[in-house]
Amino acid sequence: MSKKIGILSVYNHNYGSILQAYALQNVLEEMGNTTEIIVYKKTNYVKQAMRLLYVPLLKAALKMKWKNVYCRLFQKNTYNSVLQRREIAFSKFISENMHFSQVYSGRSALIQSCKNYDCFVLGSDQVWNPMNLGGDFYTMTFIPDFQKKITYAPSFGISNIPEGQREKTAAYLKRIDKISVREQDGKRIVSEFTGRNAQIVVDPTILIDRKIWDQKKSKRIIAENYIFCYFISGNLSYREFAKRLAAKTGLKIICIPHVDEFVKADENYAEFGEIGIGPLEFVNLVSNASFVCTDSFHGSVFSTLYQKTFFTFSRYSKEGKYSTNSRLYSFLSMTGLESRMFQANQEVTEKDLENPDFSVAVQRLQEQRTASFVYLKEALE
């Protein structure tokens, strides 16, 4: 029976966020439902300001703000030809491919909106990252007890919940009717706080039929062979690795520059051209690359979907207090592609340049995809 589903998802102009939100909405509607991604405008400005006391959120906000200010003032060509065109490409993709609710301003309007939906699905991405807890939206606490609350592949992003958030985390998790997660750490956290056995499901970008991505990504953007680099962190040693790979293979480097922050090295270690690289251009660049270098979860996911020879790096140090590496490690382990995790100072061997054997990955992804569909279908029923 068709349902009207309210989707709680991240939809900021981030490649992974937008692609997973689009994929989840697509899958739910292919199952015969109607959906809206709920748009919530918070009006408790004091509470929002308090969120900035959480260090990772403050750092992320400052990096993004500084990137735009710096480029406007000192890198006008980069701002106009890269950042502005990227924003236009994102906006175009969103307006043409996704649909949203009306804007619900303030908590009262959000609570009242619940009567417009039969059930709610939360997913996916790092919606349960501690930096989002202060917004009290992805916790689903505004939804009445009697309405069904389902999660699909959310990630905590970290391995352990901060001490000051443990009580609240336990409270909101216990109210959710059906819980699935994306990685082993998430499964362990849910078990620790609720005693429940959460099912691990695949990211929505994997759940969706690859034919959809093939249809959407359109014609090849770069005619010649190339190495595609998608680095979210500003780690210069990863760029140096890519340069050594280029020297060894004789291929040019194409990158998406300044993803989260302005990285000076992005101005000269690769080419990017004056095109707006939106979500579909991202898929296009991965799918047609000879090699992919990335420190991104979704960079690794799409490299696997398109069976590319890829080199993945940790975005954070293993000892980092706020590391979000766990979802990446979990994905590589599940697909049997642990060998594609590299160190920046590693020398590239001839064996590294060979296309990996994706047969195990393909089989495991299909098994996980089937199980994930079963979970979603049963949860909705």
**In this predicted structure, what is the pLDDT of residue 227?**
98
**In this predicted structure, what is the pLDDT of residue 218?**
85
Give the chain's residues under pLDDT 70. Answer: 44-61, 273-274, 316-324
Tell me: the pLDDT tens digits for 118-127?
999 998 888 9
Question: What pTM, to 2 d.p., does this model score?
Answer: 0.92
**In this predicted structure, what is the pLDDT of residue 318?**
54
**In this predicted structure, what is the pLDDT of residue 322?**
45
Q: What is the C-alpha separation between 68 and 325, in angstroms, rounded?
A: 27
Maximum Cα–Cα distance for the chain, whole Å? Answer: 61
Q: Buried b / exposed e across 24-42, counting CB within 10 Å, b at 16+?
A: bbbbbeeeebebbbbebeb
Tell me the helix, strand and coil percentages in the chain, rounded to 5: 50, 15, 35
**In this predicted structure, what is the pLDDT of residue 56?**
59
* Phi (first) and psi of residue 306, to 5 degrees: -100, 10
**In this predicted structure, what is the pLDDT of residue 307?**
98
In the chain, the domains with their CATH numbers are: 4-58+90-208+366-380 (3.40.50), 218-362 (3.40.50)
**In this predicted structure, what is the pLDDT of residue 320?**
47
Tell me: the pLDDT tens digits for 308-344?
999 999 986 554 444 457 778 889 999 999 999 999 9
